[in-house]
Structure 1
Amino acid sequence: MASSTLNRWLRPEVYPLFAAVGVAVGICGFQLARNLCINPEVRVSKEGRAAGVLDNFAEGEKYAQHGLRKLVRNRTPEIMPSINKFFTDPK
């Protein structure tokens, strides 16, 4: 029974599915850890929850404008700009 189940799911055709699910779980885990650790609106400790609503705009702005967003802020939203220019710009 265990051998047939193992042979059914561990075929080379299923590896991309495992990779896609693994990447999705990794992204979800990263976002969960990021929110628990540095999100100013998430308070895990009892003292933090007792503080109520905080108007700390500087900390919220620091969280929202993270490094990746700063990196891509002034770039065009294209994945392959050279190919896009080749097909769209008239000669």
Structure 2
Amino acid sequence: MVSSRWIRPEVFPLFASVGVAVGICAMQLVRNISSNPDVRVTKENRAAGVLDNFKEGEKYAEHGLRKFVRNKTPQIMPSINGFFSDPDLPSK
């Protein structure tokens, strides 16, 4: 009785979207803790102070997704946008 009251099929998309959002947040947290050069978890690394390791910082900033979208157009559907925004001009 309680499960039919609280878990209805209409809320499954909400559960899915919240689950995806929590997954993205967890992935970013793990990425920052494991590979961010400014985050130091162990005591030995924290004692090192400020490091000027620019190669490691550039490696962290230039991740695979950024490299993939670098030369792409910033549009979701560029062919449809081009169809509606760039009409063929009639020739004179």
Q: TM-score, normalised by structure 1?
A: 0.92
Do residues 63 (structure 1) and 53 (structure 2) align?
A: no
- Percent identity, aligned pairs only, is 73
Residues 28-79 of structure 1 show CA distances to partners (whole Å, capped at 9, x for unaligned) of 0000000011000000011100001111111000000001101110111011
Does residue 39 of the first structure (1) align with residue 39 of the second (2)?
no
Choose which of 48, 56, 66 in structure 2 pairs with 1:51: 48
CA distance in 1, matches of 2:20, 2:6: 18
User: How far off its partner does 1:8 sit?
Assistant: 2.1
- What are structure 1's unaligned runs of at least 5 residues? none
1:17-28 matches, within 5 Å, as: 17-28=14-25
Highest Rg: 1 or 2?
A: 2
Q: CA deviation at 1:10?
A: 1.3
Q: Tell me the SS of whatever aligns to 2:74.
A: coil
TM-score by length of 2: 0.91
CA–CA distance in structure 2, aligned partners of residues 21 and 56 of structure 1 = 37
Q: Distance in 1 between matches of 2:24 and 2:14?
A: 15
Consecutive unaligned residues in structure 2, runs of 5 or more: none
The Cα shift of 1:7 comes to 1.6
4+ long deviations beyond 4 Å: none
Aligned to 2:27: 30
